[in-house]
A = this chain, B = another copy of it.
């Protein structure tokens, strides 16, 4: 029995996800990260779908102060922020973080690096592509945004070198980093970094990734009219 056994070991966590995913099931919404983590550790979960309107209502804002998805509820615990949710899952189960303290701290450093150093210039480029494409400055700013994203990708590629994962075995940091690199505003630059392309492919080949991807895709296809 673990030293701090859960008082209700059968507790099934519940997450929220977009009722109508803007990416049409391509797995870029952030619930993908939480689904993948739960699949890696073999933890069943429930999903509650929310509309964009619901996300800005008090009931959802009580769970997520910034009105986003996903959220994570497990008994009395309500969490937001995918980094924190994935870290919580990794701390509750074996398999997503090394047991040894130094390696574990380093894996957590790479989790923060994925979200706070690599993701921001990618999201910034993506936001411009989505929201400023019709602006007169879009073309002139595009090289600047590409350069900001490439600076991070080049450093990451140099550090990864020919390793399979960021720091030893697969961890929650690889899970987060792969989802960051899959974003369209990173993916279209990856021809220049074949080792990052191979890294993403290794992540996507994991059975837990494939189950999570299929489940989030099913939300989209279930709501689309069948072609017939």
Residue positions of A touching B, CB distance < 8 A: 4, 61, 65-68, 76-85, 87-88, 101-102, 105-106, 108-113, 115-117, 119-120, 123-124, 131-132, 135-137, 140-141, 144, 152, 155-156, 158-159
**Quick one: copies of this chain in the complex?**
2
From known contacts A66-B152, A105-B77, A137-B140, infer whether A119 and B117 are also in contact, taking CB-CB under 8 Å.
no
Alpha-carbon distance between A140 and B110 when the two chains are bound, in angstroms: 36
List chain B residues, Cβ under 8 A from A77.
102, 105-106
Interface CB pairs A-B, < 8 A, 11: A61-B158, A65-B113, A65-B158, A66-B152, A67-B155, A83-B112, A84-B105, A84-B112, A87-B108, A116-B119, A135-B140
Task: For the complex formed, measure the closest distance between the CB of A174 and the CB atoms of chain B, giving whole angstroms.
Answer: 14
Alpha-carbon distance between A79 and B105 when the two chains are bound, in angstroms: 8
**Looking at the complex, which one of B68, B78, B84 makes contact with A108 (CB distance below 8 Å)?**
B84
Q: Is the CB of A117 within 8 A of B152?
A: no
Extra A-B contacts (16), CB below 8 Å, given A61-B155, A81-B112, A83-B112: A61-B158, A66-B113, A66-B155, A66-B156, A68-B117, A77-B106, A79-B109, A80-B109, A80-B113, A84-B109, A84-B111, A85-B109, A87-B108, A115-B115, A120-B123, A132-B144
